[in-house]
Structure formats: structure tokens, C-alpha cells
Structure 1
């Protein structure tokens, strides 16, 4: 017998809330033990391939989901790393443009004999002929579209007592130009297209059985009597289907958290599907007292509840399903037609996050997904945007679990953005895809908003109208907006969001000084925005840029930028040279780039936080991650290495944060807690390059819940060096440190040339002068490993760093290695990093990583700084120091 992956097999009956024996329904996820082969290589007839005893010797063994190239990589077909240099082009193969077979054998347990059998395809990219046991059960006119859930009744072709052979003949999508082609997984200027265009199976393939009638797609919608959350009025919906050729009466039974029960009878015509609704008006028990409410993680606990539904015909339970849901209410409102404010459980929320990108070959790892969601939370973000790149159930379950909000919708720039060119078949795919995604995602607690378009509303107004009809009919419970940009829809009006750039380097002062409300400054809700490149650390660069190509104009470097307008780092590089000075080596360049990444991304998020609920309601960094090793648009790189961008982001979004306003030369506070603070103590200190103190100010203040404010302006200071430091510290009323934030500032102002702004950047006509940062007097550090705490899965280390010299220790970077001379332990979470230290100052940092990622070895801690005197620095037996790389 072939290996089976059984999600909910029925070995036992038990008594449920209704006093009746019931069973979990059978579900067979066809994950492992698939065989894949090109129809060019094996030209056998389909009716033979889809029968037993067909010779698949030489076929590739794969697990699903997989694309063609992902399957070939898993089988080690290539003798090179496709990510190194320009090796991706070597994957091109004419066979990828022809059909490929995916073949799987399976058996059904005897308990399922005689039941209705449904084959569920959730992600065919792009189209397929489907064969079962030698019979074509669906052709490629019906089975196409990666975001569709296609259910095929295979009862008449199933072998209940022996082996079954499922064979999918799949053709990859074709996109001959940006506006015409297939409605598939699309890209814009992020990356080159993989040569197979992600052709293959990109989500689950399942076998489900039902006894005449089935229930699926549960939805629990919440309404509160706001502002009170003491009673949750729940409405339960589900789809019920009669799989037989005769009319059926069924009872749909449900319960929530094993203690709230409800049921109703439904009559179904032959093959009929209908919605069943349980209203809190008719079912008083659905008015839940003192509910466990799901909150975004910064506002409270992401409490999950459980719903279970069963379909009963006669005295038999046909199927039972259960899944988590959140008792929560998502709303939004427009402020002056310009800014859309999102409201969760009656509380406005300032949304700050980044845009998710899946692996270029659509490979998924539950472990990596969780690692990435943890990194998002560690940066203090509260939302992930997924632009037309739907993930799997595990991703959304993780967001539910960790209280991470999700914005998603249809994608930009390709065929999806041009419905005016669709024919009837493509329109059918689009509408079926919209229905499928609504059914699939509508009960996910983390889903905040759906976008019917990305860079513009659907250009055919009837398409948006039809989308909205589907979403209303399927009771999508969350806000819907037409587009991720500011264009007013002719159907649904103002979006209240914008995507007016930038996507390229701009200096920190940009975000507060866009007073025209034309560009990317801190106003409205920016659904995608970025100060451009995020240069990975040297340790990551060498994994995908050949040694002889480690310079910013090499073909390999440019290939790992974006495409089109974003195919170089020249704007960023010019700013780096003008502001920090020429770079003698690639390591020198990379180290300075971390500082430029840090300051730019920190300033963006700080500006939006400072202006929250005034002119700004949200901001999404473009992007969170890269689908392959890239040089632009990420907060952490493909190898999960957190560098300058990451820690600038993390610093800017700490929940009680002290900041500097580049525009007003003032000190402010951002409070992201839902509570007031009084008796706050602020200390601002200005240091010259030589470490002398030029200014100090102490102040006390208070701040309201979820608010921001400017506290005081800095006065003119005489005797400053051309570049100088500002250290800010915020203590609470008990004296506990809540925030320490360092800025490096220039007496030469940055000047933006707003008149020459483009859709992706605003150029500078004068740059800040940070050249003096390369002449900071050297200083010594003392590094001490204080404590190690080991849990079942992770280990946390406490490390103390002291500046023992007389000048500021600038941009101190702590690393944890897998032993001396080993690679960095990744992923890793530091409480802070790329810190600066005043003379005599000590900071205590924590470092946490998974035990298996540390390879169960003692970490070797390494630190560097711009002006580190390694000869005078000392550490314990597990520590070392690197040279201060930015000094030429």
C-alpha cells in the first residue's frame, strides 16, 4: 500500500454535544509520493499513465505543493546553485513550456466504501487535464487558475477496494506580455520570472468523502455592542451540498467551544448547494456573554475559539468539520476621503507592517513560515500585506495564532490588472478565483481587508461590480477596498489608501516634509512604500554574488536587484558616497550601507507613527522579504539575516518610543500601548565626534494611550562638529528604561528637489555630510556573556557590552556564531543591535535562537563597531572583536 497522509481519519466514534454518535470526516491530503515527469520525456498515452502498473521508472519523486523547477531542484537535477550569480537563466528548458505529468496512487480505507468521493484541487498553475483510473474526469477548460478551489465528484470512477491512480497533465501559465495571458501567479519588478512561471501544483490536493450530504466553508461573523465587548453576537454560515441525484433532508448541527449548541434542518434538491445561516436573533445561544476576544498581538491576546459543524442525514453523520475562528470585529472609515482608518473591536489601530513574498519557486516550509512571522512580530509590526501571492492554510493559521493582521487581494501589473483585455474564459477564471478565495479566507481571524485591485481599481467597472456581488453573497466579514492606490473607483469611491512611492532611496527628512500630499510622506495609508535598497550583510552577499562580482555595477549584482526602474542600486550608492564617503572595499560599502538602511527605514516608520490618526493611518514597507536572494526591498534577507534595515524598523516601532523629528529638530514620543503614561522622564544628550558633551536636557512628560506628541525642540548648539550624535533616553515613572535611541546628524542639511519627483523617488540636490563619522576616535569595548537560559526548543543568552573609552562607540554590531569561525546562527532574535554607546555606557542585550539552529553548540559572540580599538578591547572566552569596517 502506498503511504497515506491522513488528516482526519475516523478510527473512533464518540458522543458529541448532541448526544449522538459522530465521527470526524475522512480527508486524505495527497502530499507525498507523487511522481513528476515531462510529457516530452515520457510520451505515453494518458489512459495508460493514469492506470495501475504503468512504469514510472525515471520519473521524479516529489511532494505537493511543488512547481516544476522546485521538483527538479528537490531531485538534484542541477549541478549548480540557481541563486548564485546569474545561474537562474541556466534553468531555462524548452520542456518547461510543454505539459508535465503529476501522478499519485492512493487507496481508500474500507470505512469509506460506498460514500460520495470528492477530489479537491486547490492550486493548479495553470491548467490541467485530470485523469483517474484511466478516465479523463475534467479537461483544461474547467481546471485552470492557481487561486481556484475546484471540486470534482469522482464517485463514479473511484476504486473503493483497490488502488487508485490520479494523473494531472499540467501546462504552465503563459504571459506573452504584461496585459495579456493567463490569470496566474504574477510578478512585477521584484525579481526575474522563474523559467517555469511557477507551473505545477501550488496548493493542496485532497480526497474527501461524504455520506450523501456535506457541510464546508464555515464562517463565524461577530458584531459587538460597541464600545462594549461584553456580548458577542455571532452569526454562523456554511455551505451545504447534496452529492446525490435525489432530494435530501439533512440536519446541520454545530457547537462552539463544546458548550454552545445549535442546529437546523435543510432541504436540498439533487446536486444542490446552498448557504445555511444561524442568526443570533433566531438562536439566542449565539449571543455569547464575556467572550474570548481575538486581538492583534499589540492590543491584547489573539484568543481563538473553535467551531464544529456536522451534516446528519437520517441517523448517519455524513461529515464533521471543525476549525478555529476569532471573535473579533473589523471595520474601517474614511477620513476626509484621503485616509482610511482601520478599527478592530472598536479600537482604531495604526497599522505598520511589510509586504510578504513567497519563495520564487513557491516552496513552502511550515518551520520557515513561523520563523518569519516571529521576525515580523519582533520588529513590532502588526500587519503583513500579501499582494496576490496567496499562501497556504498554515501561514494564515500562524497569523491567527500570533495576532498578526493580514491585508491581501489581487495583484498588480500583469494580466490581473487589465480585465479590459479578458475574454469570457478569463473572466470566468477571475470570478471563480474570487469566490474560492472568499470561501477559503473569510473565517480567518487575522484577515483585516481585501483589495479587489492593487495598483488601480479594476479597469472594467463591471468586474469590480461582480467582485463586490460575490463578496457580499459569500458574506465576506471584513472591509473591502477597490485598490491599493489612491485612484477613486467609479464603483466604490475613494480607497483612502495610496501608493505614491517612493520605492527608491530618500533621506530621513523626506517622510515629514512631503507637505504637498502628492508623494510618500506621512499622510494617508501607504500600502507600499520604501526607501529602496536593503544591502544584505557581507556574510549573505557571498552566498549569491561570486567573489569576482562583489561590486555594485557587476552583472551579477544588478541581476539580484529588481527589474525595470529598479535594476540598479545607483541612487542609493550615490547617496552613500555623498553622505558617508567613498567605499574602498565591499566590506566597507556594506558596513556603511547598514547605517544608511537603518536611518532611512527608522525615519519612515517614526514619521508615520508621529502623525498617526492625524494625517496618517498606516504604512506598509515594500517589502518584508525577498523571494530569492536580493539586494532591494526587504527587512531581512533571504537567509533570514537581520541587519540595518531590520533593527531600524524594530527600533522605530517599539511600543513606547522616543524619537527625533528631522523636520522640526525636536524630541517626541510615540505610545502604541492602549494605556496612558505619566511621570515619563526624557534625557537628551548631544555628543561631538570626539565624545565631548555639547548639550543635555532633562524633561518630564506624560502621554495618552495610543498617541504621539512632540515634547520639546532642541536649541541651536554652538561648537558642534560637522557630524554629531544625539542620544535620547526615555524612562517610565519608576525609572525603568523604556527606550534608548541614537541619531547621527549633520550640520549640512539634506535638500530634496520636489519638483523633479517621479513616481518612485524624489532626488536630492544637497546631501548630509557624515564624512566625519570615519574619523571618530577609536574606543574599546568590553564584552561579557552573563547568562544562558535553555528551553525545550530555544536558548537565550544575555550579553553585556561596555564602552570603556572616551568617545562614542558607533554602530556596534553583535553576532552569534556557530562556534569560533562558524557561520551566523540564523534565524536569531536580538533584543537590540547596531547600537551606539556613550563613553562608559553599558548595554545588556539578549540573543535567542532555536536550539537546532545553534546546532547545540556554545555560541561564539563577535562584535564590531565603526571605531573599535581591537587591541584594547577584551571579552570572555566566548567573545571576539572585529575591526571597525567603515574606516577606509
Structure 2
């Protein structure tokens, strides 16, 4: 069997082994890795699981632990992707870590101040001359042993190493042991949670990607990749060039025949390799006529092509390799204003992305991962930035399939960026080869994925010239096909050889008023922003009760400035919600209870997030265009009150639906700065013969103003100006602007409602800080709290994994945001879930029908709630 197929089998076994039993009772059964070569066809499996144990509990040496006769019956069984703490949680040692302050109070830090052992066994039927053990990296470093012999060290989370184990493997049972050292993100090339979350108490020490065993004949295919050159602008053809990294495992000259297919076109090449030589073989370019082009979400489909290669020596299969790839073209450069922009397949695309957070314990959760990337598409986002959390292969495969552009890169504020002066130790001579090896490994890991459109070699600051050149050399060796960006910030640039990043990182990270985004300073909607948002996102009430203790729940709404454990990592300014809560009380009124606080917070999150996305969308064609931004953040590593578009339990709330509304394919919106109404198109399809209508209502529901325009066209993607609302007199302190866009048949295309104030927020630009800009005057939205209670009629029908809900406002009061929730028979929320719309405004007598997608469920309960809704429930038919 080829090394490619061994890897595939290994990954499958890895995923199956994640459900290992929670308590250790016996040594794991040895997996079987066949070493029989028969024209490249032989059976194999991978190791089925690991065991871990603290070195404080083990007196044996690595030479002893890595013997097949070693007794590991008292060790903890874990999946092959498991940090130490994740393994202890899996085995019930530390239950319910994400509730309250359990992560701080119920974990013994001494557990992680000593090394831990990882151990597993595998078996082979007979010896092979070319077997390797590949360790993908270790947090923070590991000593690797096999069958009583130390193979060497692995240093760094992404610095993979390969060990030749041909001479050590024996027929029958074999054992591998890895001694993992404690991690310190300031001193080691590890993983840091910066100020995103409370850090994992073990600092994620351990192994969280697959350890692989491969075998081949005299010639090994170490990897293969493809470059594509797309003919623009017509896409009538694409040149596809395949590359194979080939190694001669013998002490004599070998002639290898390489043959296979790329995009269903034949490949053939004969190469001569000297003894022990490794080199890259390039195949002649193949022309694909009328190729199926890979597009980002909203712009087209995501077809994938296949590369398959076989290496033969003397007519016998020696190894096989393959890769999936997409045909597409990506360019990133600076526009005339010096701002970063991305051009995909000849079309400039505004990046609408979010910052990614892996699971705090780095656990592999395939179903959860798929849900989150599907949420990303449902939100209307087209990109994700991965700062230092470079994830597992499943992430990139999903992004390829879903059309989500990825911007991976190294992280700030720790060992990866020691030149920032934020406490990271300066690099020593030993550190450069670790960083260099990490870059080489990750460039190869990522190079074939069409979803990956660039790599940030710095985050908050551009690396110095020597580091840039070191990284660029590794990209070139790996055949990297994408742009390399110096940083997500302007700090440290322009710095040769890459020059200016063209990406600002000036905040905000905490609350600012919605009209902030329409300004012309710091983080407002212009240029390219590597990360920014208005900070805190308050989860739904169910989520809050599931993550905070009763005391923390009371403090949340009663004590605005009290630090909350579930904010940042406990350091100022992100350890409390003072700015958000102060603005909430001034704008919406002092909360009267936890449910009232949550209701008001959802409205605040909705309007704030919607404004950020809408301002950037409106300005995509401005004199200084908004070329893209990364919302900070998309998700959370654990239950958090900070920085997310959906909460850790996958519950979409106000922030989610504000973003989803703003990112509709064809969207009508109001501008906070000049009262203009515009239509924004975020897809390549044309839109013509549209009718836009705007209505202004006082808080009592009285119509104050109405205007409309017919025959509107918008070139997509693009912006069409409709009209500007007049400056009206006699408005109530809180009032509504209601927008509606219909097609030529009168069908709704987009609906949008704003709650505004005749006393607008005033942004105090002069006193901006790095993480927020204050408001000198707050908008008065307290009228929402005085709305008369509204009643609704609800009808719902469920069929399998779909529930259709119709809500009608049966009262005389305006409902600014009707929140729909589906519940199971036990009262818990039905999650994950996607809604066609939610947090919907309803005028008296009006009804709206929406659809929810979820796991197959019989007759869920539909609950309708909101700031002025008498809660209503019904059971779906």
C-alpha cells in the first residue's frame, strides 16, 4: 500500500478513535500497519489511540515506556489529537470546566508543571525498508522514542519532523512514546490565547494533529502540488502544472517513472535521482479548456480537481501521492490609496470576514466545525482569518467545499512576535530554525487549498527583514502559489522585502456607537482592516444561564463595571463590560432584570453589528473604498461575553442576525451619517426594476413620512443610491425608519428596520484610544422600553429538518424585534439552527413567514419573545 493510502487510513482511524472510552482499563490493542508491497496494494491501519500519564506518576524512562511489554493499564486513554487537559476532561478528571469560574478554581495547575508521556502501540506483519514516523509538531516540545530507542526531539507546535524507523520496526508489536514538556507561550513556539479567552491551564501542551506512519518502496513521494494559471477575463482555458517532491531512499542511483493524472489529463516523467537525493519534479503544463473555476461563496461554485501520481521503480509501484485543488486566480496588492485589496479571478472582492478561535482545548469536533463554517456562509461572510490557530485538515477541506476564503498566519504578543515588546522573549539562535521549519511545514500543509488566499507572516507588526526573507525562502521552496502579507497591521511597515501591509489595526475592540463606522478616522469604514469590532456580544438568556453562576448573572446587569471571568483573560481593558453596559443604560434605559438586560443587549448588538457591515458595504465604491475587514471575532474558544457573532453553544442571537441582515445578497439600508438610503449588491447577479420604499414612524406607530422610488437597477457587486430622507421635525425621541425593497412582481427582496433617536450619538473622535472611541452624547432609545406590550399569533409546521413559522402581530403596537426560538420536549434549545430571518420587526396586523433548518425533530415548541412581546409559545404541527 502506498504512503498516501496509509495516511488516509490513519486519518480515518484517528477520527474513529476520538470516541474512546473515558477510563483506562487495559493497554490499547495494537493497530496493524502492513509492510507488504504488491504493486502498491496492501492493507494497513493506523494506531487506534494514545494513552497519557504525568511524569510525576511514572518512574520509567522513555526507553522503557516505548517497549511493547510496558504496562500502561493505569494510564488515561485519549484520542490521537488530544492535549493533556483535553485528555483529562475526556476521562472525567475535570468536569464542567466551562461553567462559572471552574476553569480557574477547579483545576490543579501543578498537573501541568511537569512533562507528560504519550504512548501507543502498533503492529506490522513484517519489516519494511522504508518506514517513517511523522510527528506534526508538539506543544511545546517532545522527546520521541520507538521500541526502546530515542529518535530525537520535536520542538514547536507547527514544526513537524519525520523519523526513519525502518531499522527499528519489528514484526509484531511496536511501541511509540513521546515525552511532552510544559508550554509557555512567551518562551516557546506554542499557542497563546492572548486576550481572547482565559488560557487553557495546561497551555495546550500535547499533540493535537495526527501522528502518521508511512511506508514506501525505494522512492518516496513526499508531497505533490499543483499550480494553475487561469486565462482572464474569459476563463476560456487554464494551464495546470503538477509538481512532485521525490526522495531516493537508497544508497544507489535510481530511475523513477512518475505517472498519473491531473484534471483528467495524463502525466508521465522519468527522473534520475542520486543516492539519498530529494528534489522536486515539475511536469509539463496541461491545458484545461473551459475550466470549472473555483469561486468564493456568493460568486459562484466551488469545483475541485484531482491530482494522482504513482512512482514506479523497475516496473513496480514504490509510492503514490495525490492532492485536491481548485482552479482560480488570486492577486493581492495595494490600491492607489495604499490600502490592501484582493482580486479573485479578475474580480475585486470586498473581504467580509471574521476572526477564528479554535476550541480552547484544541479538541477535534468535526460536526461542530462543519456547523460553524456553514454559519459563516449563512452570515453572508466570505472569509475567515486564522491568527496562529492553524487548525486541522478538516477545516481547510470544508472551506474549500463551502467557498470560504482563508487568511491564516502567525499570532501576536508571544514567542511568534518577540520584536513587539509585549513580553515575548527575544529569539535565540535556536529559535530561527524552529520558526523556519514551522513555516516550511505549514506552507506545504496549506499550498493546495483554493480557499487559502494569502498568509500573514506577522500579525500586529511586520517581521524584521531577516525574518521576512527566511519565511519567503521557505514559501518558495514549498511552491507557494498565493500572496504573502507582512502583517495584519501597519505597525513595522513598510519593511523590506514585502513593504507595506496596507492593513490597518487601530481598533475599535470595545463599544462604539453605530454611526462611528460612517466616520473618516481610525477604524471607520475605509481601507482594509485586519481586525476590529465593537467588542462585547451578549449571548441569549439560555446561553448566559448555562455559562454563568447565579452570582455572575446578577453582576452582569446590576454591576456594570464588575470584572467578569468570561470576558478576556482577566486583564484590562477587556475583563469587564463597563463601556458596553454604560452605553446600554444611557441609550436603552437602566436594565430592570436579567431578562430585560438581555433583551436590550440583543437590540444593541443587532444595530451595532449591522451598522459595521453596512457602512463597509456602502463604501466599497467610495473615493477611499472599504476593501475589506475582519470582524473581531467570528466565534469564541469557550463561553464568552466578548467578540463573537454566535455564542460558544452555537446559539445565534442579536449579533448574528444583525450581520446576516446586512450581508443579504441584495440589501436595502439606511446611512447613519447622511440619512441616505442605498441598495447594496453582494453577489454577481444583476438586479433590475426594483422598487424601494422608506417610511418613518414615531414611537407610537404614527406614520410621519413616506417616499419611494421605482425602476432601480444595481450592478452587482455594487451600490445604488436611492434617495435621502429629509431632516424631519416633530419626531419622538425614539423613532423608526422602515425600508422595503421589492421586485417587479411586488415580492419582497429586502426588509430593514432601524430604531433611531432625534438625539443622535455624538462620536468624540479627539479622545479616541487604541481600543475604542467614546461618545460625548448618547442616542435616546429609551422609548423602546415604553412600547405597549404586543401580542402575536404563531403557527408552525415541522417536516424533518425544517420548521416553517408564521408570526402575526395581533396588537396595535410596533414590534421592533421578534425573536424566534425552537425548543425540544425537555425545554432546551434546538441547536445548531439556521433561520432564513430572525429578530424581525412587525407592524400592527403584519405577518411574516420564516424557515428554520435544524436536526430532524418532531414537533418542537416555537417561542416568540422580545423587548415588548408577551411571550408566546406554540407546538409545531
The question of a shared fold, defined as TM-score above 0.5 by the shorter chain, is answered with: yes
One of 589, 596, 604 as aligned partner of 1:588: 596
State whether structure 2 residue 482 is matched by structure 1 residue 478: yes
Contact 2:809/2:842, CA 8 A, preserved across alignment: yes
Aligned equivalents of 2:531, 2:39: Cα separation in 1: 48
Quote the residue 1:278 is aligned against. 283
Contact 1:33/1:61, CA 8 A, preserved across alignment: yes
- TM-score using structure 2 length: 0.92
Quote the residue 2:417 is aligned against. 417
Quote the residue 2:649 is aligned against. 639
- Figure out how many residues of one structure are paired with residues of the other and give that number: 835
Q: CA deviation at 1:878?
A: 4.0
Quote the residue 1:571 is aligned against. 579
Quote the residue 1:707 is aligned against. 718
Which deviations, in whole Å up to 9, do the C-alpha atoms of 1:387-416 show, x marking residues without a partner?
A: 010100001000011111101111111111
Quote the residue 1:528 is aligned against. 531
Q: CA deviation at 1:89?
A: 4.1
Which deviations, in whole Å up to 9, do the C-alpha atoms of 1:760-789 show, x marking residues without a partner?
A: 10001000001111111222211111x433
Q: Secondary structure at the match of 1:575?
A: helix
State whether structure 2 residue 790 is matched by structure 1 residue 779: yes
Quote the residue 1:830 is aligned against. 835
Which deviations, in whole Å up to 9, do the C-alpha atoms of 1:463-509 show, x marking residues without a partner?
A: 11111122123221111110001232321112121111100101110
Q: Secondary structure at the match of 1:543?
A: helix
Q: Secondary structure at the match of 2:547?
A: coil
Contact 1:689/1:807, CA 8 A, preserved across alignment: no
Aligned equivalents of 1:526, 1:769: Cα separation in 2: 30
State whether structure 2 residue 466 is matched by structure 1 residue 462: yes
Quote the residue 2:633 is aligned against. 623
Which deviations, in whole Å up to 9, do the C-alpha atoms of 1:598-651 show, x marking residues without a partner?
A: 101100001111111432111111111110111000010110000000000000
5+ unaligned residues in a row in structure 1: which ranges? 14-20, 281-285, 880-888
One of 606, 630, 643 as aligned partner of 1:598: 606
Aligned equivalents of 1:7, 1:626: Cα separation in 2: 26
Quote the residue 1:103 is aligned against. 119
Q: CA deviation at 1:434?
A: 0.3
Aligned equivalents of 2:473, 2:10: Cα separation in 1: 36
Q: CA deviation at 1:361?
A: 0.7
Contact 2:509/2:632, CA 8 A, preserved across alignment: yes
Aligned equivalents of 1:8, 1:80: Cα separation in 2: 29
Q: Secondary structure at the match of 2:88?
A: helix
Quote the residue 2:776 is aligned against. 765
Q: CA deviation at 1:244?
A: 2.2
Aligned equivalents of 2:366, 2:437: Cα separation in 1: 28
Aligned equivalents of 1:470, 1:81: Cα separation in 2: 40
- TM-score using structure 1 length: 0.91
State whether structure 2 residue 50 is matched by structure 1 residue 42: no
Aligned equivalents of 1:83, 1:319: Cα separation in 2: 49
One of 536, 543, 548 as aligned partner of 2:546: 543
Q: Secondary structure at the match of 1:91?
A: coil
Q: CA deviation at 1:241?
A: 1.2
Quote the residue 2:297 is aligned against. 297
Q: CA deviation at 1:812?
A: 0.5
Aligned equivalents of 2:262, 2:9: Cα separation in 1: 28
Q: CA deviation at 1:42?
A: 1.1
Which deviations, in whole Å up to 9, do the C-alpha atoms of 1:863-885 show, x marking residues without a partner?
A: 01222245xx7x75449xxxxxx
Aligned equivalents of 1:604, 1:130: Cα separation in 2: 49
Q: CA deviation at 1:27?
A: 6.7
Contact 1:505/1:761, CA 8 A, preserved across alignment: yes
One of 176, 179, 190 as aligned partner of 1:166: 176
Which deviations, in whole Å up to 9, do the C-alpha atoms of 1:684-741 show, x marking residues without a partner?
A: 1111111111111111211112101321100122332110111111112232211101
Superposed, which structure 2 residues align to 1:112-131 within 5 Å? 113-131=127-145
Q: Secondary structure at the match of 1:447?
A: coil
One of 83, 92, 107 as aligned partner of 1:76: 92
State whether structure 2 residue 355 is matched by structure 1 residue 350: no
State whether structure 2 residue 439 is matched by structure 1 residue 434: yes
State whether structure 2 residue 199 is matched by structure 1 residue 193: yes
Q: Secondary structure at the match of 2:434?
A: helix
Cα 1:556/1:193, change in 2 over 3 Å: farther
Quote the residue 2:803 is aligned against. 797
Contact 2:99/2:549, CA 8 A, preserved across alignment: no
Aligned equivalents of 1:556, 1:543: Cα separation in 2: 20
Aligned equivalents of 1:674, 1:5: Cα separation in 2: 41
Which deviations, in whole Å up to 9, do the C-alpha atoms of 1:532-590 show, x marking residues without a partner?
A: 10011111111121112212249996111113321111000000000001011111111
Contact 1:373/1:398, CA 8 A, preserved across alignment: yes
Aligned equivalents of 2:214, 2:870: Cα separation in 1: 66
Quote the residue 2:287 is aligned against. 287
Q: Secondary structure at the match of 1:807?
A: coil
Aligned equivalents of 1:423, 1:674: Cα separation in 2: 50
State the Cα RMSD in Å: 2.2
Aligned equivalents of 1:355, 1:826: Cα separation in 2: 22
Aligned equivalents of 1:41, 1:720: Cα separation in 2: 73
Aligned equivalents of 1:784, 1:27: Cα separation in 2: 55
Quote the residue 1:16 is aligned against. none
Contact 2:409/2:459, CA 8 A, preserved across alignment: yes
One of 41, 48, 63 as aligned partner of 2:79: 63
Quote the residue 1:260 is aligned against. 265
Aligned equivalents of 1:24, 1:422: Cα separation in 2: 47
Q: Secondary structure at the match of 2:513?
A: coil
Aligned equivalents of 1:298, 1:363: Cα separation in 2: 30
Aligned equivalents of 1:857, 1:556: Cα separation in 2: 43
Quote the residue 2:28 is aligned against. none
Aligned equivalents of 2:575, 2:850: Cα separation in 1: 37
Superposed, which structure 2 residues align to 1:239-250 within 5 Å? 239-250=245-256
Which deviations, in whole Å up to 9, do the C-alpha atoms of 1:368-400 show, x marking residues without a partner?
A: 100100111110111011001010000100001
Quote the residue 1:183 is aligned against. 189
Quote the residue 1:53 is aligned against. 69
Cα 1:498/1:782, change in 2 over 3 Å: same
Contact 1:214/1:243, CA 8 A, preserved across alignment: yes
Aligned equivalents of 1:40, 1:837: Cα separation in 2: 63
5+ unaligned residues in a row in structure 2: which ranges? 1-7, 14-31, 420-424
Q: CA deviation at 1:83?
A: 3.3
Which deviations, in whole Å up to 9, do the C-alpha atoms of 1:81-116 show, x marking residues without a partner?
A: 343324334323323121111000001255xx4240
Aligned equivalents of 1:237, 1:613: Cα separation in 2: 40
Cα 1:25/1:240, change in 2 over 3 Å: farther
Cα 1:542/1:85, change in 2 over 3 Å: farther
One of 100, 123, 134 as aligned partner of 2:148: 134
Cα 1:728/1:392, change in 2 over 3 Å: same
Aligned equivalents of 2:207, 2:505: Cα separation in 1: 32
- Of 597-606 and 214-223, more deviation after overlay is shown by 214-223
State whether structure 2 residue 352 is matched by structure 1 residue 359: no
Cα 1:495/1:858, change in 2 over 3 Å: same
Contact 1:692/1:807, CA 8 A, preserved across alignment: no
Q: CA deviation at 1:256?
A: 2.1
Contact 1:407/1:449, CA 8 A, preserved across alignment: yes
Contact 1:35/1:61, CA 8 A, preserved across alignment: yes
